[in-house]
Amino acid sequence: MSLNSQLIFDSKIGKIKIVGSDSGIEEISLENAKGDSSKEIPFCLVEGRNQLEEYFKGERKEFDLKLNPKGTDFQNRVWAELLKIPFGQTTSYLKLSEKLGDVKAIRAVGGANGKNKIAIVIPCHRVIGSDGKLVGYAGGLWRKQWLLDHEKASFQMKMFF
């Protein structure tokens, strides 16, 4: 079992920390990105930074990264559904619950969404309230709004060219 390394870099929404090992990325966090990058950084972390930088430049809509999310079976099912939300679009917690086959699981879906440690790449920012309002985001609602605006602008720009 290899030890986790971290890579910290500046982005348009603040410092981002990517944590993982040769087994894959386990965390991309937008808060508490303190400290220094590890001396030895696995390729998947460097590739994660490169793809995120492309995303922030509006050059990337999909990620192709080696991920190693840590969660329960239910959380992993929710995160798999998050990966299906198209770039530049949103869904609600209720619709996610329906896709998972249990409309009563809306709170559990919200909880699993909140435990997603691989921000942006597993796009929990694309989940909003049924009323269209922004609710909950570990990186702060202003970052969630920024990400949604960024994707909407990039999506519209690509459609016209």
Residues that are catalytic: 124
Greatest Cα pair distance, the chain, in angstroms, is 48
Query: Could you give the CA distance from residue 130 to residue 25 in angstroms, rounded to a whole number?
Result: 31
Residues 9, 49 contacting (CB under 8 angstroms): yes
Pairing of strands 127-128, 91-92: parallel
Residue 79: which of 67, 66, 62 has the closest Cα? 67
